[in-house]
Amino acid sequence: MRLVVIGNGMAGARLAAEVRARDKDIQITVFGAETRRTYNRVLLSNVLAGTASPEQVRLPAHAEGVTARLGVTVTAIDRASRTVRTGDGGCEPYDVLVLATGSEPVVPPIPGVTRAIAFRTMDDCDRILGVAATASSAVVIGGGLLGVEAARGLAGRGMPVTLLHPAGHLMERQLDAEAGLVLGEALAGLGVVVRTGVQVTAILDHGVELATGETLASQLVVLACGVRPVVGLAVDAGLEVARGVVVDDQMRTGDPAIYAIGECAQHDGTVYGLVAPAWEQAAVVADLITGADRTARYRGSRLVTRLKARSVELAAMGETHLTEDSAGAVEVVRFTHRARGIYRKLVIRNDRLVGAILLGESPTVGTLTQLYDRGGPLPGDRTGLLFPGLDGATPADSPVRMPDAARVCDCNNVTKGHIRACWEAGARDTAAVVAATRATTGCGSCRDAVEGLIGWLCEQEEVRT
């Protein structure tokens, strides 16, 4: 079988690895438009902040037998002959084709927008840092997840940063108004000036112009105005495309030889913009095309959004915008401590957690993520969900009380039991556990939990001996 993967990002590279792990004989060719080896795009804000180097966010090289065509774009798909044409004049045949083309930045039609730098790739990161080296200030346009990460990253380098957002509060898709306000105040304490409800009308040589006529001076302007799926190849090939490439529960398009995964795919009306669903989809496709599990199906994902910005802890999941109603069908439990940058909100329906916002230090984030993901019943006293240990009991996230089935790494579906098994098999440090399980290689937010578990296991062994 000849498998061709278009896209060498986190979805395409994972698919190649999953297929090779199941079948050593399939011929795999991966085309990547970028010349770089696959890297963790989720952690680019750490590179921007200077807390990680480009080398530190690289993902493992492709397995033996995988041909990676880096810096080579695919220009067309010929479904009749089952070949793809490439920008260097080549032609590659396939038996199975997987589209993992990802997404591209939304560039608003603002006069002078070419003076700004979109924040999406490692090359973008290099360009931003190159300008930042001599700039005295920066403006970031867009207060969604990526914009907040970019602003915090630049501020972490000691640069004055202004974050502009047209909506009434930051990250309005994931957060309610109060959480957005607390997040803005937390960022202000870290050196980011946040301005919401503002429109940029032009980007000038040395700043931006607002709809009010005001001009903000800046030598660096970064765009973080959202992304959209890259679907041009699919459209030209006559595949069904809505917002993304439409696929079924097998991640298959209308052409039985072509699949789509990751940010370019639209499953059951949803395009997922996070890494965990892409990796789940890759596993399903690998099972199907290798025959490892012909019953494998993708049924959608329950999303947990995490902010990857130094000194700002945030997790948001589910239906965060719901409010209590007169019928009592929805219960909301909320705590705010603005002076400390803390906001915690639980949204409960039928005694199940259907949404949560956890901003600032939150010792129960792991427990609440598990309750949301599994839809399990909640304890009658909601207080302990926000403030563990008030009754003198062991904190909810203590390894002692975590069941082995508790998920520690959402991106890679790694449980406490997986980590314990690796440790007992000889993986006695973080590097060894990461190599065995891939934990921490997604958004990276579980690293402290993984290291804590390993430390706890070592302590237990010392006690026994």
3-state secondary structure 416-448: HHHHHHHHHCCCCCHHHHHHHHCCCCCCCCCHH
C-alpha span between 282 and 344 (Å, rounded): 33
User: Residue 247 forms beta bridges with which residues?
Assistant: 267
Backbone phi, then psi, for 26, in 5-degree steps?
-65, 135
Q: What is the mean pLDDT of residues 203-225?
A: 95
Structure confidence at residue 1 (pLDDT):
94
Cβ atoms 208, 198 nearer than 8 A: no
Q: Give the percent of the chain with pLDDT over 70.
A: 95
Question: Rounded mean pLDDT of 312-321?
Answer: 92
> Is residue 222 scored above 90 in pLDDT?
yes
Residue 391: pLDDT over 50: no
Kindly indicate the confidence band of residue 84, based on its pLDDT and cuts at 50, 70 and 90: very high
Does residue 196 have a pLDDT over 70?
A: yes
Across 174-201, average pLDDT: 96
pLDDT in tens, 407-439: 788 788 788 888 888 877 887 888 888 888 888
Which of helix, strand or coil describes residue 182? Answer: helix
Considering only the C-alpha atoms of the chain, give the largest distance between any 2 of them, rounded to a whole number of Å.
Answer: 72
Residue tagged 């004055």 (tokens):
160
- The pLDDT assigned to 393 comes to 43
pLDDT at residue 390 in the model:
53
Between CA 389 and CA 231 the distance in angstroms is: 50
Q: How far apart are the C-alpha atoms of 426 and 251, rounded to whole Å? A: 37
The DSSP bridge pattern shows strands 96-99 and 258-260 to be parallel
Rounded average pLDDT over 96-105? 97
Q: According to the model, what pLDDT value does residue 122 have?
A: 95
All structural domains of the chain, each given as residue ranges with its CATH number in brackets, are 2-103+228-290 (3.50.50.60), 113-225 (3.50.50.60), 313-396 (3.30.390.30), 398-465 (1.10.10.1100)
Residue range 26-32: mean pLDDT, rounded: 98
Summarize pLDDT for 137-157 with one digit per residue, the tens: 999 999 999 999 999 999 999
Q: Which two tokens stand for residue 66?
A: 């995988």
Which phi and psi angles does 22 have, rounded to 5°? -95, -30
- Give φ, ψ of 330 to 5 degrees: -120, 130
Dihedral pair phi/psi, residue 126, rounded to 5°: -60, -45
DSSP bridge partners of 5: 30, 98
Angle, helix 145-155 to helix 177-188, in steps of 10 degrees: 20
- % of the chain exceeding 90 in pLDDT: 69
Instruction: Choose among 369, 325, 361: nearest CA to 344.
Output: 361
Given a cut of 90, is residue 399 above it in pLDDT?
A: no
Q: What angle do CA 11, 120, 134 make, to 5 degrees?
A: 145
Across the range 91-120, mean pLDDT stands at 96
- C-alpha count within 13 angstroms, C-beta hemisphere, residue 164: 22
In this prediction the pTM is 0.87
Q: Are 266 and 235 in contact (CB under 8 A)?
A: no
Query: Looking at per-residue confidence, does 352 or 308 come out higher?
Result: 352
pLDDT tens for residues 246-300? 999 999 999 999 999 999 999 999 999 889 999 999 999 999 999 999 999 999 9
Q: What is d(CA 235, CA 232) in angstroms, rounded to the nearest whole number?
A: 5
Residue 459 has pLDDT above 90, yes or no: no
pLDDT tens string 348-382: 999 999 999 999 987 788 888 888 988 888 888 88
**Nearest Cα to 354, choosing from 325, 388, 328, 378?**
378
Q: For 39-62, what is each residue's pLDDT tens digit?
A: 999 889 889 989 889 999 999 899
Least Cα distance to 70 among 43, 42, 33 occurs for: 33
Tokens of 111: 């006069």
Give the SS3 label for residue 210. Answer: strand
93: number of Cβ within 10 Å: 14
